[in-house]
Amino acid sequence: MNTVVYDSREERKLHRLILDLVRARELLLDLVWKDLRVRYRYAAMGFLWAVIEPLAFTVILTFIFTFVFADRTAPAQLTDGPPFAVMLLCGLIFWQCLSASLATATTSMVTNKNLVTKVRFAREVIPIAACCMPLVQLAIGFILLLATHLAFGGSVGGTLLFIPMVFIVQFVLTIGAALFLACAHVHYRDVGSLISVLLILGFYASPVFYPLEMVRGARVPQWIVTAYMANPMAGLLTCYRQIVFEQRLPDMSLLVWPCICAALAFLFGALLFRRLAPTMSDYL
Amino acid sequence: MTPIIEVDNVSKVFPARRGPRALRGGLGLRDWMQGGRKTFKALRDITLSVAPGESLGIIGRNGSGKSTLLSIIAGVTLPTSGRVTIRGRIASLLELGAGFSPVLTGRENIYLNAGLMGMRHAQVDEVFDDIVAFSGIGKFIDQPVETYSSGMYVRIGFAVAVHTNPDIFLADEVLAVGDAEFQRKCRQKIGELREQGKTIVFVSHDLGIVNTLCERVVLLDNGRMLQRDTAQQTITYYLRQVGQEKGVHAFGDAETEVIHCDGRVSVFHERREISAANGFTMDIVSLGQNHSSRDADWEVTEKSERDCTAVGKMARLPITLHWEFVCESGRLLWRIAMICDRDCPIDQITVLLMLPTGYARWLYGDLTGIFPDIAPTDTSWNVLVSPEAKSTETAALPGADVALPPLMFRMEKHNTFFGLLWANTEYLMYSRVLSAQARFPEHENIFSAGRHDIMELTIDPNIPLESISDHVFSSRTVRSGPVSARFESGCIRLYWNDLALTTYLHVYTSLLIEHLWNDSQSLQWRSIVPIDGGIRFTGESRRFPFSQEWEVMEGEQGLQLRLWLVAQQELMVQECHTTIVVPAEYQRWETDHEQGVFPPHDPDRPNWKHCNQSYAPGKRIAAWSERLPSITMEADDTCPEVRMTAINTSLQENARALQALRPSDVGRLRFPAGRTPYFSGNIRIVLPDAT
């Protein structure tokens, strides 16, 4: 009885974060489950949409870039890599995982306002749950990727084990950004709109439907390439491709910057969130 | 003991939002610049602590910071300065079921909601069945909650909250939701929790509930803590403190002080509150919906030191309540009227006088009784005596060692449907109730536009305990030496000092019209008028177009009785009589023509049995017993011709009857329109040795 369960002065301290999250693990799963149910409720095809969505996107983009803009994308066709559709799918599922995470996590505190303003719990679980939900789609998408890869005559090997290691970096990065954006959105609702614009920009500014080599080989000033590489997804998406298609360890040089970004984003996001979360309900 | 909740010097400032205030009207750049500075101070330097097992109430007007304090204790938001320490798990009952996701099934929501309160799945598994049983959701548990009714939502929410077994409950007006049945369950559960020694922090407008549930009550005003004391003290302070408001007026005379506060009346005598915390209120049920006077918009239109007139516009009814109070030498007169703006259906009107549990006995008509204790399991009102007793005077007597004055209540009703009843409330309200209630039958429930006087209530705290029972009946009693006659709901009870001389139907009349007996008890009796040497009262038949007028006066060796029949049109009566029903102790009878002994009651005979042989017109009938004085009924010269009859009632009724009968000789019992004598005579009551 005498153990302090709640002390308003301790609320903003970061060191309790891990403990809080461990305690709230089941709650996190419940919330993910809730988000999934909300997303696919009354959909006749249910979770099938997790397959159809990336597939349809791939078909559309493949059509555009192999027929409509065939001339301009010639270099992509000429490389001895995998077929365009498979290459695209590989970038697309990981990009969509990031973009779906950020889009839902940003507004998550506001959509779950009824929870936040009524009960005290580790608030971090809400944006983190929003980041976890797309993992399900990613898993389905990844199986789809392997299937198409094999169908187009590719082969897979033990190097696939590197995928989770690279993905951890992306996931930490996502959570860091999500925590930050969720906070920011509570205080400035402009963030929600801004992020949807930025995600469209990010889609084009990341090597999703083109390989990174195309940017490097393009005749543009060096600073543009440097600026491009500042996007951690540039390195990450390329790493996935190297693992899946070239079946080798990814270039460590590509991973250094995303790792730094992820660590910084996570630290900053988590700190800011801890600091602001306890009074968030005042702004909802 | 280490406090379970410690609030230390807490202030809370709500930041103003930046950004344009409205969608239209430019970018709101100015607002943006200034926005950060316009803050709102919701709480200022609050310090309090709650010991384990204690229950704390928080009261205050809207916007006084009650809910903010609660949410700071709940940990939903942080104080701007100061510190809150909680040493136990909290379950918040704030807006039950609000955290539910409509898409999830009841089962999933239970796990999710319990998880938010810090329970793990394994722990929920243990209480899951209890939760389902308590909420009464049953087979709907695996349906998405969006298919639930709002009541079911709240039920599950409450069930989850109470089954997470926390140390502290935070409640914010939760008891105002759900259906009546569930509210009862809620209240019972909260009572139980309190008995179990859980800590409860309770925010409510319902002062009655706060009063019973909370040992200590904090009064907030404008973010400051004004008072922190026992429930009674704080509530009293609150009522006085809001005295400047427009719907409030405090007045009084002698030792009585009355506070009218927005449709609730609190009465103090010698600075002690004689009303319970909920005060005196009025409820109107229209179209199945209950409207309380406390929800009306009140304005005190006239006030002085001794009286007060308040007008309350009901929120959702086209009705304005008109309350007039006069306080004179300690006695409070409360005139209740209502003005309907247009025709309005009203099913029921109830005036509720809540009294503290210090009152131990009630006195009502001939009846008296003890208020039973109110147990935590009492989840509904427990009616002790119903309006069937029909008295309009009643009293409440304090228990031994209770410093409360005996209270006498007199109801002068302007609407005949009203009756008084005494009840115990459920555990949470924890009071005695005197309820003046009228249920209007279907064809009489439309109140036309205009003013309707409802009743006048007199509350008198000045009568000494010894003489209160006399006072209860004084206006309806006629005395003549040791003999007294008390009129009560269509009959007259006769007493020799304190000895009851009549039983069952007492002194009453009955008329057989169109093969239907119309007993005087079934007439609607209006108020009693004092006349020279006695009283007069009038009763109207609801079935046939006639009324009866009775006069009871002091007479030689007893009483004088004069009865009239007032017919609105010519009335054909098959048979009629005036009867005194006396206990079976009376053994001998005598008329002008014969005398005899009442035989033992025949157990097989359900009807009354005449004992006399001669039915010749007569003037006199008498009965004797060994212990009780003799009773003689004599018709005088103005009385129409009657035949005196001695009758045995059935065994169950176990009584004798002395009857002045007027049988149907052809044409004799035609009562012309107007006032005709019905019976006139004396009742002589003499001790046996005096004859």
Which of B87, B108, B118 lies nearest to residue A4, judging by beta carbons? B87
Which of A5, A37, A279 lies nearest to residue B104, judging by beta carbons? A37
State the pLDDT at residue B207: 72
Q: Give the model's confidence band at A278: pLDDT under 50 very low, under 70 low, under 90 confident, else very high.
A: confident
Contact between B85 and A7 using a beta-carbon 8 Å cutoff:
yes
Please answer whether residues B358 and B371 qualify as being in contact, where contact means their C-beta atoms are separated by less than 8 angstroms: no
Which of B17, B77, B112, B160 has the highest number of chain A CBs within 10 A, making it the mutation to test binding with A?
B77
List chain B domain ranges.
5-232, 245-463, 476-690
Output the CA angle B683-B689-B691, nearest 5 degrees.
50
Question: Pseudo-torsion of CA B415, B417, B420, B426, nearest 10°?
Answer: -120
Portion of chain B with pLDDT greater than 70, in percent: 91
State the pLDDT at residue A31: 86
Q: Is the pLDDT of residue B691 over 60?
A: no
| B74–chain A Cβ distance below 8 A for any pair | yes
State the pLDDT at residue B22: 45
DSSP secondary structure letters along B43-74: EEEEEEEE-TT-EEEEEE-TTSSHHHHHHHHH
Q: Is the pLDDT of residue B525 over 60?
A: yes
State the pLDDT at residue B222: 81
State the pLDDT at residue A198: 93
Distance CA B579, CA B273 (A): 47
One fold for B5-232 and B245-463: no
Tell which residue, B457, B399, B394, has the closest CA to residue B422: B394
Please answer whether residues B322 and B337 qualify as being in contact, where contact means their C-beta atoms are separated by less than 8 angstroms: yes
**A6 chain-B contacts, CB cut-off 8 A:** 75, 84-86, 90
Task: Return phi, psi of residue B156, to 5°.
Answer: -65, -45
Least confident of A59-68, B479-488, B505-514: A59-68
Task: Return phi, psi of residue B488, to 5°.
Answer: -150, 115
Which of B18, B52, B88 lies nearest to residue A5, judging by beta carbons? B88
For residue range B406-415, list pLDDT tens digits in order: 998 988 888 8
Q: Is the pLDDT of residue B521 over 70?
A: yes
Which of A8, A41, A279 lies nearest to residue B103, judging by beta carbons? A41
Q: Residue type at B11?
A: S
Q: Is the pLDDT of residue B23 over 50?
A: no
Portion of chain A with pLDDT greater than 90, in percent: 25
Q: Is the pLDDT of residue B589 over 90?
A: yes
Q: Give the model's confidence band at B33: pLDDT under 50 very low, under 70 low, under 90 confident, else very high.
A: low
Distance CA B674, CA B663 (A): 21
For residue range B54-88, list pLDDT tens digits in order: 888 888 877 788 888 888 888 888 888 888 888 88
Contact between B86 and A189 using a beta-carbon 8 Å cutoff:
no
State the pLDDT at residue A127: 92
Least confident of A36-40, A169-173, A238-242, B656-660: A36-40
Contact between A119 and B76 using a beta-carbon 8 Å cutoff:
yes
Q: Higher pLDDT residue, B26 or B392? A: B392
Q: Give the model's confidence band at A1: pLDDT under 50 very low, under 70 low, under 90 confident, else very high.
A: very low
- Number of other residues whose CB lies within 10 A of the CB of residue B388: 9
State the pLDDT at residue B464: 84
* Chain B residue closest in CA terms to A280: B77
Which of A3, A11, A188 lies nearest to residue B87, judging by beta carbons? A3
Q: Higher pLDDT residue, B240 or A76? A: B240
* Chain B residue closest in CA terms to A284: B17
Element (H, E) at B512: strand B507-513
**B92 chain-A contacts, CB cut-off 8 A:** 118-119
A-B contacts at Cβ under 8 angstroms: 112
Least confident of A124-138, A198-212, B469-483, B484-498: B469-483
State the pLDDT at residue B24: 45
* Chain A residue closest in CA terms to B86: A6
User: The pTM is what?
Assistant: 0.64
Q: Return all residues near A149 (Cβ < 8 A) that are at least 6 apart.
A: A82, A86, A90, A156, A244, A245
User: How many angstroms from the chain centroid is the CA of residue B234?
Assistant: 25
Which of B15, B78, B104 lies nearest to residue A8, judging by beta carbons? B78
Tokens of A109: 């505190």
Most confident among A96-105, B6-15, B286-295, B416-425 (mean pLDDT): A96-105
Distance CA B149, CA B64 (A): 33
| B20–chain A Cβ distance below 8 A for any pair | no
**A3 chain-B contacts, CB cut-off 8 A:** 87
State the pLDDT at residue B647: 92
3-state SS, one letter per residue, for B259-305 = EEECCCEEEEECCEECCCCCCEEEEEEECCEEEEHHHCEEEEEEECC
Distance CA B68, CA B41 (A): 11
**A1 chain-B contacts, CB cut-off 8 A:** 2, 4, 52, 87-88, 167
ipTM above 0.90, yes or no: no
**B103 chain-A contacts, CB cut-off 8 A:** 34, 37-38, 41
**B77 chain-A contacts, CB cut-off 8 A:** 278-282
Contact between B84 and A41 using a beta-carbon 8 Å cutoff:
no
Q: Does residue A51 belong to any structural domain of this protein?
A: yes
Burial class (CB in 10 A: 0-12, 13-18, 19+), A63: exposed
Q: Number of folded domains in chain A?
A: 1
User: Averaged over B548-571, what is the pLDDT?
Assistant: 91
| B154–chain A Cβ distance below 8 A for any pair | no
Q: Does residue A166 belong to any structural domain of this protein?
A: yes
**B71 chain-A contacts, CB cut-off 8 A:** 117, 281
Least confident of A244-248, A263-267, B91-95, B680-684: B91-95
State the pLDDT at residue B138: 79
Q: Is the pLDDT of residue B16 over 70?
A: no
| B99–chain A Cβ distance below 8 A for any pair | yes
Q: Does domain B5-232 have CATH number 3.30.70.260?
A: no
Q: Give the model's confidence band at B133: pLDDT under 50 very low, under 70 low, under 90 confident, else very high.
A: confident
Tokens of A112: 């779950």
**B89 chain-A contacts, CB cut-off 8 A:** 5
| B51–chain A Cβ distance below 8 A for any pair | no
Q: Higher pLDDT residue, B487 or A71? A: B487
Portion of chain B with pLDDT greater than 90, in percent: 18
Tell which residue, B66, B1, B427, has the closest CA to residue B217: B66
Q: Give the model's confidence band at B248: pLDDT under 50 very low, under 70 low, under 90 confident, else very high.
A: confident
Which residue in the block uniquely carries the two structure tokens 């059509």? Answer: A63
State the pLDDT at residue B443: 82
* Chain B residue closest in CA terms to A41: B103
Contact between A6 and B4 using a beta-carbon 8 Å cutoff:
no
* Chain B residue closest in CA terms to A281: B77
State the pLDDT at residue B547: 92
Coil, strand or helix at A2: coil
User: Averaged over B550-574, what is the pLDDT?
Assistant: 91
For residue range B461-487, list pLDDT tens digits in order: 888 887 777 777 777 788 888 898 988
Rounded to a whole number, what is the largest CA-CA distance in chain B? Answer: 110
Tell which residue, B62, B61, B60, B65, has the closest CA to residue B7: B65
State the pLDDT at residue B430: 81
Q: Give the model's confidence band at A2: pLDDT under 50 very low, under 70 low, under 90 confident, else very high.
A: very low
| B104–chain A Cβ distance below 8 A for any pair | yes
Which of B12, B78, B168 has the highest number of chain A CBs within 10 A, making it the mutation to test binding with A?
B78
Q: Does residue A37 belong to any structural domain of this protein?
A: no
Burial class (CB in 10 A: 0-12, 13-18, 19+), B149: exposed
- Where are the alpha helices (H) located in A81-189, listed in sequence order? 84-111, 113-116, 125-151, 162-187
Contact between B19 and A188 using a beta-carbon 8 Å cutoff:
yes
User: Averaged over B235-252, what is the pLDDT?
Assistant: 70
Strand partners, B571: B671
Q: Is the pLDDT of residue B175 over 70?
A: no
User: Averaged over B642-666, what is the pLDDT?
Assistant: 87
For residue range B597-633, list pLDDT tens digits in order: 998 888 888 888 888 888 888 899 999 998 889 999 9
Contact between A5 and B98 using a beta-carbon 8 Å cutoff:
no
Q: Does residue A109 belong to any structural domain of this protein?
A: yes
Which of B103, B104, B107, B117 has the highest number of chain A CBs within 10 A, making it the mutation to test binding with A?
B103
Q: Does domain B245-463 have CATH number 2.40.50.100?
A: no
Q: Is the pLDDT of residue B35 over 80?
A: no
Contact between A23 and B2 using a beta-carbon 8 Å cutoff:
no
Sign of CA dihedral B465, B471, B472, B477: positive
**B118 chain-A contacts, CB cut-off 8 A:** 23, 121
**Residues belonging to chain A:** 284
**B90 chain-A contacts, CB cut-off 8 A:** 5-6, 120
User: Averaged over B436-443, what is the pLDDT?
Assistant: 87
**B116 chain-A contacts, CB cut-off 8 A:** 27, 115, 119, 121
Please answer whether residues B176 and B146 qualify as being in contact, where contact means their C-beta atoms are separated by less than 8 angstroms: no
Q: Give the model's confidence band at B366: pLDDT under 50 very low, under 70 low, under 90 confident, else very high.
A: low
**B75 chain-A contacts, CB cut-off 8 A:** 6, 8, 11, 120, 278
| B90–chain A Cβ distance below 8 A for any pair | yes
State the pLDDT at residue A213: 82
Distance CA B419, CA B394 (A): 11
Q: Higher pLDDT residue, B500 or B189? A: B500
Coil, strand or helix at B388: helix
Q: In which region does residue A268 sit, left (phi positive, over 0), alpha (psi from -120 to 50) or beta (all else)? A: alpha
Output the CA angle A191-A194-A198, nearest 5 degrees.
130
Instruction: Choose which CATH entry (3.40.50.280, 3.40.50.2300, 2.70.98.10, 2.30.30.90) describes domain B476-690.
Output: 2.70.98.10
Residue A265 lies in domain = 46-279
Which of B40, B67, B71, B76 has the highest number of chain A CBs within 10 A, making it the mutation to test binding with A?
B76
Q: What is the mean pLDDT of chain A?
A: 84
Contact between B101 and A120 using a beta-carbon 8 Å cutoff:
no
